[in-house]
Amino acid sequence: MLLKNTYNEFVKILAKPRSYLGIGALTLLISVILFAMKADGKSFISFVTSSFEQTLSFNGNILNGNLIAFIILQMLIVHIPLLVSLVTGDLISGEAAMGTIRMLATKPISRTQIVLSKFIAGAVYTLILTIWLGFLALVVGKWLFGSGDLIVLNSDGLVILKEQDILWRYGCSFAVAYLALLTISTLSICLSAFAENSIGPIVTTMSIIILFTIIGSLDVSVFDSIKPFLFTTHMASWRSFFEDPVPWSTIWNSVLILLAHNVILISIALYKFNKKDITS
């Protein structure tokens, strides 16, 4: 029954216009970035590298597909949560708003299975969005800008990664970025279990992200103890794969915290939905 209802969830997601809105918006955003980089990318790069030109000389194709993918990931990882929650925040509350939750909940399928099928569908949608992001950023980026070594600027200075040493890093970083987006998906579905309208969980998800991001960026000691446990702190962990050497312990810590968030949020949603009186 879980598989059957998960299939139902895919049918519904595929039929909803808002599902394509996310993919369309992502395509548009990346197209704009690619166009801007194609048109004026060199001056953008020289602005970054100018401070190092007295000590380093840059040869070869710096503005390549690998760098473009990095820039795109950096720019969009903040905005994609909105696109994710636009679809996933509606998965339970949308049914309540439409009244179809009554029809679902009177069928011989347990409430746990109803919720889990929505989590699975949300996870698959998020995966599709992440793969599409990776395809546009990396594949289209490389097609338009060619390949080459990746120069990344981080807090320790410049990191230069050889071309043949990059692909696995992108694979891993997209996996961690997916886990971060999956946490957003899980959060919005969890909030969706508490709501009776579609917009509430979407707005609340974004508000939580903004709030946690602000707490994370505030240099105030009172928040120091909670910062490591906020999922927003770990949303940029994908960047760690572009450090040399890769800080594996930091990455594993982020993965564990994000996984813990997913487990806790799913448990809360299951508890709430199983106890919920469906009065809509």
Partner 1 sequence: MNETEIIKVEHLAKNFGSFQAVKDVSFTVNRGDVFGFLGPNGAGKSTTIRCMLSLIQANHGNIQLFGKDLHKHRNEILARVGSIIEKPDFYRYLSAEKNLEIFARISGKDVSKKEIAGMLDFVGLNGRNKDKVSGFSHGMKQRLGIAQTLLHQPDLIVLDEPTTGLDPQGIVEIRNLILRLKTEQNKTVILSSHQLSEIELISNRMVIINKGQSIIEGDVKELLNAQEMVVQLEVNDVEKSMKVIESSFPQALAKNINERIIEVQLEKQQVPSLNQHMVQAGIEVHAMEPKRKLEDFFMKIIQS
User: Mask of contacts with partner 1, 256-275, x by CB under 8 A?
Assistant: -------------------x
According to CB under 8 A, which one of 77, 82, 128, 278 is a site residue for partner 1? 278
Name the minimum Å distance from CB 103 to partner 1.
6
Q: Which stretch binds partner 1 (CB under 8 A): 4-12, 80-88, 170-178, 221-229?
A: 4-12
DSSP reduced 3-state for 151: strand
Q: Please say which residue, 103 or 199, places its beta carbon nearer to partner 1.
A: 103
159-178 residues in contact with partner 1 (CB under 8 A) are none
Q: Please say which residue, 117 or 186, places its beta carbon nearer to partner 1.
A: 117
Residue whose tokens read 């808002």: 18
DSSP reduced 3-state for 162: coil
Amino acid at 33: I
Are 129 and 17 in contact by the 8 Å Cβ rule? The answer is no
Pairwise CA distance, residues 127 & 64, whole Å: 25
For residue 32, the surrounding DSSP H or E stretch is helix 17-49
**Bridge partners (DSSP) listed for residue 154:** 157
Name the minimum Å distance from CB 7 to partner 1.
7
User: Mask of contacts with partner 1, 15-44, x by CB under 8 A?
Assistant: xxx---------------------------
Contact residues for partner 1, defined by CB under 8 A: 1, 4-5, 7-8, 11-12, 15-17, 98-100, 102-110, 275, 277-279
